[in-house]
Structure 1
Amino acid sequence: MIVVTGSVTARADSFDEVRKLSLEHVRRSRTEPGCISHAVQIDCENPLRLVFFEQWADRAALLAHFAVPASRDFVRSLQSLAAAATTIELYDATRLEKL
């Protein structure tokens, strides 16, 4: 499984648009093959920061997601609305048995 974390900090004047675009992106992504989960949350320490958490079945599913034109458009849209650079981190994860 591939785990993706990311964040975007919106400007105060662009937060509503960033939130709207993010929710649309999450809902669309959940319908893609190989998407296990995809969510966006508001950071309780910085209410202008949205945090993404995603789980994908494998690298191929994630690469297919990145290739979707709407995904690329989403990232481009965020760049003009963000107060700072967006972040993204990818992890190759294996579920551990209970300890």
Structure 2
Amino acid sequence: MQNSGYALVVRFTLRNTEAAERFDALVEHTLQGINTEPGTLAYVVHQPVDEPLVRVFYELYADRAAFEAHEAQPHTKAFLNEREQFLTTVEVTFLNEVAGKRPRAEAA
């Protein structure tokens, strides 16, 4: 069976409007590093309609090793350390792909 990727959805609830603005700036800074990760196929931040203090991340990796490589990056470690000051809750859901259309990992 072909390796079908590794994904997660993370829901962040932010403390207040100022925290949301600072969190968004942290995300923008962190994305500069994430954009260079070959095994990170999608890393998209959403704001749910009518929930200005919530951010939902969708992350898709080529495989679990790509996710672990992402987690080991200095920019990811900095994000994980700095984000707590802006949050009230974090909910993480890990996903196994069943079916669908998705981007392919870049050839090594």
TM-score above 0.5, yes or no: yes
Which residue in 1 is equivalent to 2:104?
none
Deviating 4+ runs (over 2 angstroms) = 23-28, 94-97
Q: Which runs of 5+ in 2 are unaligned?
A: 102-108
Q: Which amino acid aligns with 1:2?
A: Y
Which residue in 2 is equivalent to 1:53?
58
Q: Structure 2 residue aligned with 1:91, among 64, 89, 95?
A: 95
Q: 1:93 to 1:32 in 2, by over 3 A?
A: same
Instruction: Give the Å deviation of 1:79.
Output: 0.6
Specify the SS of the correspondent of 2:22: helix
TM-score by length of 1: 0.84
Specify the SS of the correspondent of 1:80: helix
* Structure 1 segment 23-42 matched on structure 2, within 5 A: 23-42=28-47
Task: Give the alignment's Cα RMSD to 1 decimal.
Answer: 1.7
Which residue in 1 is equivalent to 2:7?
3
Specify the SS of the correspondent of 1:46: coil
Deviates more, 1:8-17 or 1:57-66: 8-17
TM-score by length of 2: 0.78
Instruction: Give the Å deviation of 1:31.
Output: 1.8
**Separation of aligned partners in 1, 2:47 and 2:90:** 14
Give the conservation status (yes or no) of the 8 Å contact 1:21–1:74.
yes
Q: Which amino acid aligns with 2:79?
A: F
**Separation of aligned partners in 2, 1:6 and 1:96:** 20
The answer on 1:74 being equivalent to 2:74 is no
Deviates more, 1:6-15 or 1:51-60: 6-15
Give the conservation status (yes or no) of the 8 Å contact 1:26–1:40.
no
The answer on 1:20 being equivalent to 2:16 is no
Q: 1:4 to 1:30 in 2, by over 3 A?
A: farther
